[in-house]
Amino acid sequence: MRLLHTMLRVGNLEESLKFYCDFLGMKLLRRKDYPGGEFTLAFIGYGDESDNTVLELTYNWGVEKYELGNAYGHIALGVDDIYATCEVIKNRGGKVVREPGPMKHGSTVIAFIEDPDGYKIELIQLGTQGSAVKQATSEQLVTQ
């Protein structure tokens, strides 16, 4: 078994695609409208679905806002330079809700940003928490 995707319901698909693709460097992998069900699915990520876990953005036509609830936590992305990444996001109009710095009671360097629907995304400075997996780099963000 392997994890395939995480699904988020979004109120404005175009704004969400702009955020995840332009701000975070993901690629739109596939998108399909389902007129009979009145919804659109967009799959995004850092690599092909056959080898990578991706995000599924679900837009239910006519629904502009969701209650996020208190069970959802966040998505986490590893970045090479958390400070530069946060600056790029802020300069592009993104929302940094927790500036980069060490987490409480630990040495892992983290920051939190928020997508257009209010979902939290944790940025983790690679190398500060022992992860060898590089999901996103500040270089990807800066060059796009």
Three-class DSSP category at 26:
coil
Annotated binding-site positions: 56, 74, 122
For the annotated catalytic residues, the residue numbers are 122
- Return the number of other C-beta atoms located less than 10 Å from residue 107's C-beta: 9
Annotated binding-site positions for Zn(2+): 56, 74, 122
Amino acid sitting at position 7: M
- The Cα–Cα gap between 98 and 139 comes to 21
Closest C-alpha among 21, 76, 10, 66 to residue 44:
21
